[in-house]
Structure 1
Amino acid sequence: MAPLSRTLFFRMALVWMLGATTATADDWTETAQRIRELRAAGSYEEARSVLETSTSGPAAERLAEAEVLDLALSGDLAVRAALAEADSLHTVVESEFSRGRLQAARVPAERRLDLLRGVLPENHPDLARSMVDLATIRMVSGEPEAESEFHEAARRLRARLGESSEALTLLYSTLGGVEQALGDLESSERWLREAVAIESRLPNRSSDEWSYPLTILARVLDQRGELARAERIDREQLRRALASYGEEHEQVARSLNNLGTTLHHLGEYADARDHFARALEIRRKLLGESHPDVATTLNNLAASVEALGDLEEAERLKRETLRIRRATYDEDHRWVAATKTSLGLNLRRQRRLAESESMFREALPALETSLGAAHPEVARGWFNLAMVLADRDRVEEAEEAGRRALRIFRDRYGDSHRHIANTLRWLAAIRTDLGDLAGAESLLVEACETHDRARRRIATEEHGEFFAGSPEPDLAMVLAARSRPLEAFEAAERGNGRLLEAALLTAGHGRISPEVRARREAAAASLGRAEQRWSRTRDRPAEDEDRRTAELDLIAAQAVWADVMSAIGARPLVPPFGARRTQTALVPQTALVGWLDRPFAGARGWTWGWILRAEGEPQWVRLPWDPGDANGATTAARLHEALDVAAAWPMRVTEDEVTRMNRRRLWDDRIGPLLPFLDGIDRLIVVPADELAGVPVECFLDPEGRCVADRWEISYAPSATLLAWLAQQGKGDAVDGLLVADSSLPRATEECRAIRDVIGAELITGEDGSESRLTLRAQSGDLERFRFIHFATHAETASDRPDRSAVVLPPEPPRAFLSAVLDTTPWFDGRLTAAEILREWDLDAELVTLSGCRTGRGRAVSGEGYLGLAQAFLRVGAHAVVMSLWDVDDRASAELMSRFYRRLATPGVGAAEALAAARTELRDLRDPDGSFPFRHPVYWAGFIVLGDPA
């Protein structure tokens, strides 16, 4: 999506620069705005007349305006000239700032502050506002030390206007917006909460008035993952805007746009689309077809439409966005370039490669002009061009563009940034495609080292998913091709399941105290600012004072960061167990299998399969590469889509020939070539493959028409290391079972009662199964006594942020809005997210079952499969998780679960064996009319076991 938070911040700062007090439509707001317009025009006599005829407004604000006008009309021509120049410069500052031209705004801002210092008293609000203008420009330009000027301005405003002035509210709101733009979300939230608290104490302030600080706070909470709070604020702001302004007003459009943003981040793309569409309708009516805010809303609408899969409509909306921005800004403006880049990415997804290339080539000169040739966005522009050139099989040109991107990234980031690792990985694929395996290996070794350095430096699970694109699997394939199978396995394992391993093996299930978490966030923000200062000064001469200061600041920030990381147990990732140690966890009849895929230029690529048995070296097999159909959809992708469609179909479905053909081809491509190495094997443990994420291998069909599930017992593991680690832990002493049912779902309580009859578990529904009640039990340690935990509830999966995937529980009692916003205690919204599970839960469970729809889905991540709820439960102590890959049929799910738990209650039977038997029984279940209602794999293959299968 568009950088909404930054757009909102600039609007927030503009409100400050314009001198407005609140976003309400009261008389004083309009009067103050009119006075400032007259002052900017030099019409001080008319401005005084407007002030004298007005009776509204805070006394302190009116007095401050009168003081300026008295000075201007005092007869001192020098004073009037200084004020006139300062007031006219205010308009220049506001205009340049609104266009994102920070340096062009800085010079007049500095001149205006000098002029006002010469004529106004020290504690005059206009002088404080001018200080804030310049501090805002400096901080956004990368000078965090300018924050001290905000605090000096606040001191002056307090001295003049008191503790609860609207100007002070707006100052803290602006500071919060600046901190947000700079990425310091913790500081931003603190200042914005202070602004909201001051605003709530203002005299004559209605609780129904629309609030700028609340708007920015919602965006910050959104970025921090607190979507429940953000959504509550956005909905309240929309209610207030509608109550104050009616249906068709800019504040209503803005509120709709903000709520749409939060809904988009919640994964509710259809609702987000509808809110953006309504905002667009209002803005077009109020602002016309070609206003920049219309372009912003079009761009957001395009993002939600694209997320819903309508690439053609998204393209249309992006082209309309581009038309407006071209009419508004210069052709080399960064927003024009950004829109061209977004359109180029859309066209690439549509496989319209020539048009995509043209759009990227148009964007590059504009990026270089607006940002400079050495800016990271320019590097990303070159990399986008490189990828589409490779798609068009113009390998040499693609490689050159990729190397240009690499040079810029290296100059900017040094040797420990993910963009460098990703670019090296991509260049290695080009070398592999050209047959230069030695060159590819060299590039990949460097890429792996760079990736590890970058990942260690971040070393937080919140950001870890963005570093999951490890180059290790690519190195594994190159090593396999060079006949080094053991090294290849070690490399593949270093790239598999590393987020989960890092949490389990290095950070005590990833949970740290709030105090240490706050220290970590502060240290990360400080390190980021120090790196920015160093990047701006490192090319200066060694004796340059600013360069020396920046280097010392960077060294100090790195030391603080290292101390904090040591405090939370973060250290270099634990080395993978390796083949020999993993084999100790495998019984003779078990094999660990996995696949690796890597596209090259054009329609070429590599697929490799590997097998590890209890004895012997890993075996590697080169497999057929699937280039996909005319739309780029591979066999696995087509089967994935067919199963999703069948799952959503309201009637009972039977299998079609195309689905059977795709199941057969996947056997031929993925299983058949491995058969020589699977003699005597009864159980397969599958490590997720990127291309097969969400496609159960159980349903592949062999040449005789038998399912994989009929030949082997199947389970899944995020990695060989995690599988071996779980096996070494042994089962705990927990014996009880806990069943959580959503009583609003027709069959959920019935399903849980049937399970209770088998295993004698505790069944909770309604308020007893609410998020707050379960959180209290988790905090008390009560949940550690359960061997089995079963959720028969809805679930939500978030493909963009797996930590936001959630188990949906009964709603909590409503809380008063303002107290809920200002209170920093946990917000229980009925959504038990993966992030909350990681923070609050500790288990000793043999099994967690998530029987709702799509509970095994989330974000598809290279080397991880889907990341979401299942991984969260494994992180906090579950040995295995049973989860669903698509929408489940109520009857089929209930039948499967009752059979599964009956098998599981048998001594010595593990989760994988119990699920395999239950699936077979369900598939063979015959209705009284003689039919087999559950023969289609959508009914029996949707549940899988992740983790320890025993």
Structure 2
Amino acid sequence: MLRAGVCALAGIVATLAPLPATAAPAPQQTDPVKDLPLFMQLRELRKQNEWERALGAAREMLRQMEADPDARDYELRNRTEQLEIIRRIVAMPPDARAELAAADRLTDDFARAMGDARYEDAEAVARQQLEIRQRLLEPDHHDTATSMHLLGLVLRIRGEYAEAGSLLRASGEIYRTRLGPKAASVAMSRNALADLQAETGDYPAARESYREVIRIYRTYHPENDGPIARSMEAYSALLAREGRLHEAEIVLREALSLWQRDAPGHSRGRSGALGRLAGLLTAQGETARAEPVYHEAIRQTRAAATADHPNLAAALSDLAELREREGRHAETEDLRVEALQIRRAAFGVPHREVALSLADLASTRLHLGAPATADSLARAALAMMAATVGPRHPETIRMHRLRGRAALAQGALGDAARHLDSACERARDVWPDAHPELTEVLVDRARVAWARNDVPAAVQWLEAARDSHEGSRGTAGSAVHRATFQESPDVLLAAARLESGRREDAWAPVERYSGRILEETLRESGAARGPRITAEQLRAALRPDEACIGWIEAEPVPGRRASWAWVARADAPLRWVRLRATIENRALHDVAARYREALTAAGAWPFRVPLDANLVHLGMQIAAARMEPLAAHLNGVTSLRVVPSGIFLGIPVESLPIGGARTVGDRWAVSYVPSGTLLARLRARPAAPNPGRALLVGNPPFDGALPDLPASGEELQAVARSVPDAVILEGEDASEIALTEMAERGGLARFGTVHFATHALPDAHRPERSALALSARG
């Protein structure tokens, strides 16, 4: 959010920047001010202590406004207020007028200091200007409000949120009272307050503020594309922070459409918005769509700026985010280094942008397995950030966290704990008790405790992280957003409780993270109420001949795994099974990926083929690591209800060889449920009106996008022979459009079973993007 806020701030500071130096006047020119536009004349005359001439310029501006038939009421009010301000100053003693002229000149000093990231100097200048104006002008004077606004801006950047918020609210109220609610100054002040609210985690208030800013600009100042677009970009960044990525993309595309208009300065805004759009696409997993957008942003930036312009560094950093997500860390490093070199040349040191580049490069070096170099870069980034924005700013807190992660990777656990403790302490001062970034710091602190073999302490840190996560996701919008905006700490918490011997407490976090998207969706629709079920309630929902099983895969410290499975049966207590390493974990994930690909390829064959020996070997390795340890607890069981996670996403458990030539499907009838809670609810609900009727969907054409599944048509026919009065949607009819239309007409309610025979497309990183592949032709 800070980056978006600084983008908005850049536009504000630009309006305050001093005029460029003019060439020496020709001998006959004695008054360079008179050739300037009236509003610039007024500004320069005030700074030159020529208040009588400034009064004349203000009168002329008001006269022209009154003669304009298209002038708006709030514009006339603004011009009238401006005239009254100067009239009162003209009546003051000469010494007071001179001091007020000096205060106006301080605005140029403030703009220069902000542009150079000399925030401490900018704060001193803003305080000096405010002191003069408060002493000589009324408390609710427009100029006093402007000084309060400027001081609030720089204090926000320095992390002094309490004082900044007070000043920004006070200045906004003065603007509203003196100029009316339609004035651009009101929107400008509210936008700065929205940035502060977003940075401190007050997302509901920030959303309301940004919407009000955009409404004021669009309704009363529609010609101001730049401020509207910058506010929309900041609003988009807030939505993205909350996990509402699709909404964020819509808002950002609207901002981009404003930047597309041909106007001075728009090319720079356009390339920046393109980079942010590419970042949003990357965050949504749309890397193929993001790639050309990144390159277009870089192309436009190069065309609009010099080769060493900071905007190019921002575009390169955006592309580096994509490369890092793709795991192409060597390319990421090259882009990070180039961005750092550009920013160092443009800004010098110390500078906030240079510190951010150092931190980005440190993070990449961590991914490349060079924690010592990463720590050196992170140390420089932390010192520079603290010097420019202060010790309590969110970016400084993030640098402490980065140093903690680098120290943990090196095994320097004391240093790791010290930096993460500092991050926790300051995060709690800046953010509310429930904030996604606080959650991340707490999880990292738990990892350090775990690395010290103090697992009970890790449990305490993770419980605090769980509370922060649960509290912050409640503000994240829709059900999908609440379930996916941040990785849940519950997996680590469940593993930590198991490792510390608290098996009776491990079920609750397991059930919280299982099937969370569907659970949130059902709650949002009113179809689900009440808490998640207990293990005893799950056991009560099971039949005597069936078991429900699931797995926990956690890596609390790099290279150190905590792997468990659970077995729930009606006739026995919940069993927790520690999974010993039969194969190195990274190798196991590689085996699972190869097995999944081999099954997909086999399913695409138009003819039946014998089992491939390599396929069997891969399946045996997975079964040995994850299924065979459970077999001793499944005696007498004929049906398995599987809660899939980790490596089992996209892998049919029933296909795994177990016990010689047999497979899991030979020994047990296998079905899948998102969570124990959803299984118990399904068992408790009334029977379907026609439980025997089934809708069978499958064998769609993929048009080369995926391998065809010709045997899935045989599967549909085989199922249809077992279910009377089945309805089949096959080929082009097996489409999302057909299912949607049927649902809208209430047709799906006629079926007790819906059976799909097609490709599943699981996404372990973004589960809400998992899908069933259907026909695009229908």
**TM-score, with length taken from structure 1:** 0.62
Partner in structure 1 of residue 479 of structure 2: none
Partner in structure 1 of residue 641 of structure 2: 685
Following superposition, the deviation at residue 238 of structure 1 comes to 3.3
Partner in structure 1 of residue 8 of structure 2: 9
Partner in structure 2 of residue 723 of structure 1: 679
Following superposition, the deviation at residue 459 of structure 1 comes to 7.0
Partner in structure 1 of residue 512 of structure 2: 498
Is structure 2 residue 302 aligned with structure 1 residue 281?
no
Task: Say if 1:258 and 1:889 are closer, same or farther in 2 by CA, change over 3 A.
Answer: closer
Map Cα deviations across residues 739-796 of structure 1 (whole Å, 9 max, x no partner). 999x998899x99x9999954599999999879x97xx6xxxx8698265xxxxxxxx
Task: Say if 1:239 and 1:856 are closer, same or farther in 2 by CA, change over 3 A.
Answer: same
Map Cα deviations across residues 449-503 of structure 1 (whole Å, 9 max, x no partner). 43454456547273565472124332344256xxxxxx52x33322213056889
Partner amino acid for 1:624?
A
Task: Say if 1:89 and 1:644 are closer, same or farther in 2 by CA, change over 3 A.
Answer: farther
Map Cα deviations across residues 182-223 of structure 1 (whole Å, 9 max, x no partner). 444444444444444444454894999974444444444555
Q: 782, 786, 801: which one pairs with 2:749?
A: 786
Map Cα deviations across residues 353-396 of structure 1 (whole Å, 9 max, x no partner). 4543443444444455556678776676565455555555x4xx
Task: Say if 1:623 and 1:391 are closer, same or farther in 2 by CA, change over 3 A.
Answer: same
Q: Distance in 2 between matches of 1:648 and 1:764?
A: 21
SS in 1 for 2:630: helix
Is structure 2 residue 421 aligned with structure 1 residue 406?
yes
Cα contact 1:106–1:134 (8 A) shared by 2: yes
Map Cα deviations across residues 377-434 of structure 1 (whole Å, 9 max, x no partner). 6676565455555555x4xx235523552365257549986357524532343244xx
SS in 1 for 2:541: coil
Partner in structure 2 of residue 623 of structure 1: 580
Following superposition, the deviation at residue 616 of structure 1 comes to 3.4
Is structure 2 residue 179 aligned with structure 1 residue 158?
yes
Q: Distance in 2 between matches of 1:376 and 1:241?
A: 29
Cα contact 1:639–1:659 (8 A) shared by 2: no
The count of corresponding residues between Structure 1 and Structure 2 is 715
Q: 106, 109, 117: which one pairs with 1:92?
A: 109
Is structure 2 residue 624 aligned with structure 1 residue 668?
yes
Q: Distance in 1 between matches of 2:255 and 2:273?
A: 6
Is structure 2 residue 346 aligned with structure 1 residue 346?
no
Q: Distance in 2 between matches of 1:641 and 1:12?
A: 51
Task: Say if 1:182 and 1:645 are closer, same or farther in 2 by CA, change over 3 A.
Answer: farther
Following superposition, the deviation at residue 169 of structure 1 comes to 4.5
Q: Distance in 2 between matches of 1:602 and 1:329?
A: 36
Is structure 2 residue 438 aligned with structure 1 residue 443?
no
Task: Say if 1:705 and 1:255 are closer, same or farther in 2 by CA, change over 3 A.
Answer: same
Q: Distance in 1 between matches of 2:174 and 2:201?
A: 22
Task: Say if 1:203 and 1:376 are closer, same or farther in 2 by CA, change over 3 A.
Answer: closer
Cα contact 1:92–1:105 (8 A) shared by 2: yes
Cα contact 2:333–2:364 (8 A) shared by 1: yes
Following superposition, the deviation at residue 53 of structure 1 comes to 11
Q: Distance in 2 between matches of 1:652 and 1:615?
A: 43
Task: Say if 1:373 and 1:184 are closer, same or farther in 2 by CA, change over 3 A.
Answer: closer
Cα contact 1:16–1:174 (8 A) shared by 2: no
Is structure 2 residue 268 aligned with structure 1 residue 268?
no
Partner amino acid for 2:272?
R
Is structure 2 residue 594 aligned with structure 1 residue 577?
no
Is structure 2 residue 734 aligned with structure 1 residue 868?
no
Task: Say if 1:174 and 1:13 are closer, same or farther in 2 by CA, change over 3 A.
Answer: farther
Is structure 2 residue 161 aligned with structure 1 residue 142?
yes
Cα contact 2:637–2:668 (8 A) shared by 1: yes
Task: Say if 1:679 and 1:75 are closer, same or farther in 2 by CA, change over 3 A.
Answer: closer
Partner in structure 1 of residue 589 of structure 2: 636
Q: Distance in 2 between matches of 1:691 and 1:765?
A: 28
Pairing 1:269-348 to 2, within 5 Å after superposition: 269-329=287-347, 331=349, 333-348=351-366
Task: Say if 1:649 and 1:270 are closer, same or farther in 2 by CA, change over 3 A.
Answer: farther
Q: Give the CA RMSD over aligned residues.
A: 5.4
Q: Distance in 1 between matches of 2:141 and 2:393?
A: 40
Q: Distance in 1 between matches of 2:599 and 2:116?
A: 50
SS in 2 for 1:244: coil
Pairing 1:104-183 to 2, within 5 Å after superposition: 104-116=121-133, 126-137=143-154, 141-143=160-162, 144-158=165-179, 164-183=182-201
Following superposition, the deviation at residue 314 of structure 1 comes to 2.0
Partner amino acid for 1:106?
E
Cα contact 2:697–2:755 (8 A) shared by 1: no
Partner in structure 2 of residue 947 of structure 1: none
**TM-score, with length taken from structure 2:** 0.73
Q: Distance in 2 between matches of 1:401 and 1:206?
A: 48
Q: Distance in 2 between matches of 1:123 and 1:43?
A: 22
Q: 635, 650, 654: which one pairs with 1:698?
A: 654
Following superposition, the deviation at residue 621 of structure 1 comes to 4.2
Following superposition, the deviation at residue 116 of structure 1 comes to 4.0
Cα contact 2:694–2:754 (8 A) shared by 1: no
Partner in structure 2 of residue 251 of structure 1: 269
Unaligned runs of 5+ in 2: 20-35, 477-481
SS in 1 for 2:510: coil
Task: Say if 1:760 and 1:675 are closer, same or farther in 2 by CA, change over 3 A.
Answer: closer
Q: Distance in 1 between matches of 2:548 and 2:299?
A: 55
Partner amino acid for 2:460?
E
SS in 1 for 2:506: helix
